[in-house]
Amino acid sequence: MANHQPAAFEQQPMWAGGRSPFNVSYGKLMMWLFLLSDAFTFSSLLVQYGAQRFSNVQSPIVTKWPDPAAIFNHFPFMHGLHLPLLFVSVMTFILIMSSVTMVLAVEAGHRKSKKEVVRYMVYTIIGGAMFLGCQAWEWSVFIGEGATLYGNQFGITEAGNKVFSALGFGSHFEWEPEYRTAGPVPFAALFFIVTGFHGFHVFSGVVINIVVTIMAARGVFDRRGHYEMIEKAGLYWHFVDLVWVFVFTFFYLI
Amino acid sequence: MEFYNKPGDYDAINYIPETHSHGTKELWRTFWLLLGITLLDFIIYFVMPHTAFRNFIFIFFGIVKAYYIVGAFMHMKYEKINLALIILVPTIFILGLITGLLYEGNALTYCK
């Protein structure tokens, strides 16, 4: 059972010791701090992406950076159609949906309703698995078009090529002769690294959710007296959703 | 002043504060907000020409979405201000770092 904090603790100074100055459990505080460090990891990747991209940009139109709308424009079962942003919006919708079912599971956990927790957690796991499937499809199409970690097969935008080559900057080749590419080299590599890192987080989130769901279904949390483990898994899952918001913004929208 | 952190008083490490449900109304409201903003992203993407202002709108919407995910879904609104500050203050500094490095990266456009 949850052990109760003596009432006297409420009267003593917040930082005097013996109690959490954050009024959360040790586990939840550590999850928050882990998420902070994970936020730094993703930030460093996004900083790298942003600096690389901005070093190829004069304005949103005049850029050597390939236009995402011209590359990520595929949708399953719709061959040959130019459908930018549509598939990735579906992925975003799936992730937002699974975020909602996760938060409903947390809310059910507060009411100690085991049946509802398990049901919503199963929905969340299905959402996460669907997202991973979508990402696998997206990657396979991208790789099928010739994306590699060491070159840029997509060239540069037409407007960018015109302006930069007029200035004498656009038409030069980058890197080793055998990997010659017309556009900025790390375009595909950064996409693979950032979305791959995010996808790996989704994968670990799904694994964590499965473990937690089995524990809930077997009544571990009922015996423990609280469903805090669901909350901690939920924090992680929402963080993954949060990172996707920025990946979506920086890799597809902009 | 008398402190109560004598050993054996109670187990501070395994202490779990009492939680209570805030209801699902706010959660669903947040969901519709997130969905609406994402749809707005989608519409703006096709309606507006690609300008720096459009990028600014997307980033602003991203930060709004982050506010609602962290505030409502991750329960940050209901946590103590101490916890909110140790998480949010370093993140705001990171935003400064990102802005600075974009500026520095942009300065390299004609140097390469």
Residue A163 in domain: no
* Same domain membership, residue B109 and residue B66: no
Residues in B touching A2 (Cβ below 8 Å): 15-16, 18
* Beta carbons of A189 and A149 less than 8 angstroms apart: yes
Percent of chain A past pLDDT 90, that is, above it, reads 56
Residues in B touching A232 (Cβ below 8 Å): none
Residue A107 in domain: yes
Inter-chain residue contact A14 with B82, CB threshold 8 Å: yes
In this structure, what token pair is assigned to residue A7? Answer: 């009432």
Residues in B touching A25 (Cβ below 8 Å): 14-17
* Same domain membership, residue B71 and residue B43: yes
Please state which of the ranges A141-145, A195-199, A208-212 shows the lowest mean pLDDT. A141-145
Partnered with residue A63 across adjacent β-strands are A57
* Same domain membership, residue B44 and residue B71: yes
Q: Residue B46: pLDDT above 60?
A: yes
A226, closest residue in chain B (CA to CA): B16
* Same domain membership, residue B71 and residue B33: yes
Burial of residue B32 (number of CB atoms within 10 Å: 0-12, 13-18, 19+): exposed
Residue B10 in domain: no
* Same domain membership, residue B100 and residue B60: no
Residue B2 in domain: no
- The more confident residue out of A38 and A21 is A38
Residue B63 in domain: yes
Shortest Cα distance, chain A CAs vs residue B61, angstroms: 9
Q: Where does the pLDDT of residue B108 fall: very low under 50, low under 70, confident under 90, or very high at 90 and above? A: confident
Residue B5 in domain: no
Residues in A touching B74 (Cβ below 8 Å): 234-235, 238-239
- For B76, residues 6+ apart whose C-beta sits below 8 A from its C-beta are B70, B83, B84, B87
Inter-chain residue contact B110 with A46, CB threshold 8 Å: no
Residue with tokens 């701090």: A33
pLDDT digits (tens, 9 = 90+) for A87-124: 999 999 999 999 999 999 999 999 999 999 999 999 99
The torsion of the CA quartet B1, B5, B10, B12, rounded to 10 degrees, works out to: 120
Name the average pLDDT for chain A: 86
Residue A233 in domain: yes
Shortest Cα distance, chain A CAs vs residue B19, angstroms: 6
* Same domain membership, residue B83 and residue B65: no
Residue B84 in domain: yes
The pLDDT of residue A185: 77
Distance of CA A113 to the CA centre of its chain: 29
pLDDT digits (tens, 9 = 90+) for A45-55: 999 999 988 88
Inter-chain residue contact B101 with A50, CB threshold 8 Å: yes
The pLDDT of residue A10: 65
> Which range of residues forms the domain containing residue B109?
79-112
Inter-chain residue contact B45 with A18, CB threshold 8 Å: no
Residue A210 in domain: yes
The pLDDT of residue A112: 92
User: Structural domain tally of chain B?
Assistant: 2
Residue A241 in domain: yes
The pLDDT of residue A225: 86
* Same domain membership, residue B94 and residue B56: no
Residue A4 in domain: no
Burial of residue B42 (number of CB atoms within 10 Å: 0-12, 13-18, 19+): middle
* Same domain membership, residue B74 and residue B109: no
B89 touches chain A (CB under 8 A): no
B43 touches chain A (CB under 8 A): no
Nearest to B101 among A35, A51, A57 (CB): A51
Q: Residue A219: pLDDT above 80?
A: yes
Calpha distance B66→B64 (Å, rounded) = 5
Residues in A touching B108 (Cβ below 8 Å): 55
Q: Residue A69: pLDDT above 60?
A: yes
Q: What is the CATH classification number for the domain harbouring A146?
A: 1.20.120.80
* Same domain membership, residue B30 and residue B67: yes
User: Structural domain tally of chain A?
Assistant: 1
Calpha distance B39→A113 (Å, rounded) = 34
Residues in A touching B54 (Cβ below 8 Å): 60
A254 touches chain B (CB under 8 A): yes
Shortest Cα distance, chain B CAs vs residue A60, angstroms: 6
* Same domain membership, residue B72 and residue B83: no
> Which range of residues forms the domain containing residue A105?
27-52+66-150+175-253
Q: Residue A1: pLDDT above 90?
A: no
Please state which of the ranges A77-81, A215-219, B54-58 shows the lowest mean pLDDT. A77-81
Mean of pLDDT values over A166-179 = 50
